[in-house]
């Protein structure tokens, strides 16, 4: 029989991670529900140097994308998700946006929309399961 305090701690960690995953899902779900979908073009990549405590600093590249809304507005935005390699300038990308706030658009890729919620949920699930199994 496991210590109930430890079991509840595992349940709390797992539940917090699941709640965090749900919070991270809010933005992609809002963009999908809003229905704005366009073809965009990578204009540039903004570089950001990220210092690590375990190694040398790394450069991340955040694509700057331009697209035209269904109303004909030309919008430019910087993606909130960067990568270790720059996206080629001039490359075509799919964009999701809210017609009420098109400047808050995002690339329609797995990484930008779903990666962080999936990783957060996957991290917390073993804790939640272990805690619940030891309680019951």
Percentage with pLDDT > 70 across the chain: 99
pLDDT of residue 53: 84
Q: What is the pLDDT of residues 105-116, one digit of tens each?
A: 999 999 999 999
| Structure tokens, 79 | 């993606």
Q: How far is CA 68 from CA 15, 16, 78, 96, 106, in A?
A: 40, 39, 15, 11, 13
**Strand, helix or coil at 2?**
coil
- Helix H or strand E encompassing 130: helix 116-135
Could you tell me the pLDDT band of residue 86, with boundaries at 50, 70 and 90? very high
pTM for this model (two decimals)? 0.82
pLDDT > 90? residue 98? yes
């Amino acid at each position: 029989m496991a210590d109930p305090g430890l079991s509840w701690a595992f349940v709390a960690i797992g539940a917090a991670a699941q709640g965090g995953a749900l919070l991270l899902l809010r933005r992609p779900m809002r963009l999908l529900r809003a229905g704005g979908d366009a073809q965009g073009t990578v204009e540039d990549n903004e570089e950001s140097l990220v210092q690590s405590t375990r190694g040398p600093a790394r450069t991340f590249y955040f694509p700057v994308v331009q697209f035209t809304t269904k109303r004909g507005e030309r919008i430019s935005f910087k993606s909130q998700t960067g990568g270790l390699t720059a996206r080629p300038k001039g490359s075509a990308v799919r964009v999701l946006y809210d017609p009420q706030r098109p400047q808050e658009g995002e690339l329609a890729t797995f990484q930008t929309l779903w990666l962080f919620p999936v990783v957060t949920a996957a991290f917390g699930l073993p804790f939640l399961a272990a805690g619940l199994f030891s309680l019951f």
